[in-house]
Amino acid sequence: MLRIEGLTSAYGALEVLHGIDLAVAEGEIVTIVGANGAGKTTLMRCISGVQPLRAGAIRFDGADITRRPDHARAGLGIGHSPEGRQIFADLAVEENLALGAYHRRGPLAADLDEVYALFPVLAEKRALPAGGLSGGQQQMLAIGRAIMTRPKLMLLDEPSMGLAPVLVDRILEVITGLRDRGVTLLVVEQNAFAALSIADRGYVMETGRITLSGPARDLIADARVREAYLGA
């Protein structure tokens, strides 16, 4: 579904991604683990079209989308729940969700019901300003907004950051549930064990490069990954 070849990207003169090659097959959960500053978020922003490329190519669902703008990529079926949630604090919860479907026409009731079934607390607070939600509820809102795009591929950037363990478990359940319903997922996550435990495959990023990849179970067992990211 997604293939990235030779991707480089920079902030001004500073190149932060150096020839990234990555693939995600339809129906997979693929996770990217790595330390802060490894370039994980920049890579996700490149895929969704927010961050420009210096070189390389991105193919999605058989089409070259390298030069397509971010809104066009959303219309093709790429949903993005960004790092830091980036909700609209002054808008109501339901208005935030509706913005996830801005590129679509037609009623949204069924889509909203789907999100509210996953996150009932959002239904309870649908008319309240999103800025009044707790951190965990805001994360649910960011994921729900991405679901509203009806994605074929969902990009989740640090979905468990700052959450209590019980909420982390809930987010992981939602991720696996989305996969079971046919959504393909690419997940960036600092909680490496949690991410790898639900993933089919994984990539390890260090200083803007992919240094290791393979089946998730093999990465969990790899001594280098265990020492660097799993606290073993």
* The pLDDT value given to residue 210: 97
Tell me the one-letter amino acid at 196. L
What is residue 84's predicted lDDT score, i.e. its pLDDT?
75
Per-residue pLDDT of the chain (232 residues; tens, 9 = 90+): 999 999 999 999 999 999 999 999 999 999 999 988 999 999 999 999 999 999 999 999 999 999 999 989 998 999 999 887 789 999 999 999 999 888 777 789 999 999 999 999 999 999 999 999 998 899 999 999 999 999 999 999 998 887 888 888 888 999 999 999 999 999 998 888 889 999 999 999 999 999 999 999 999 999 989 988 876 5
Rounded CA separation 201/218 (Å): 9
Residue tagged 């729900």 (tokens): 144
What tokens does 131 get?
């800025």
- What burial letters (b/e) apply to 52-74, b meaning 16+ CB within 10 Å? ebeebebebeeeebbebeeeebb
- Domain 2-229 - what CATH class? alpha beta
Strand runs labelled E in the chain = 2-11, 14-24, 29-33, 55-60, 63-64, 78-81, 153-157, 184-188, 201-206, 209-215
pLDDT at 228: 84
Q: Parse the chain into domains and list their residue ranges.
A: 2-229
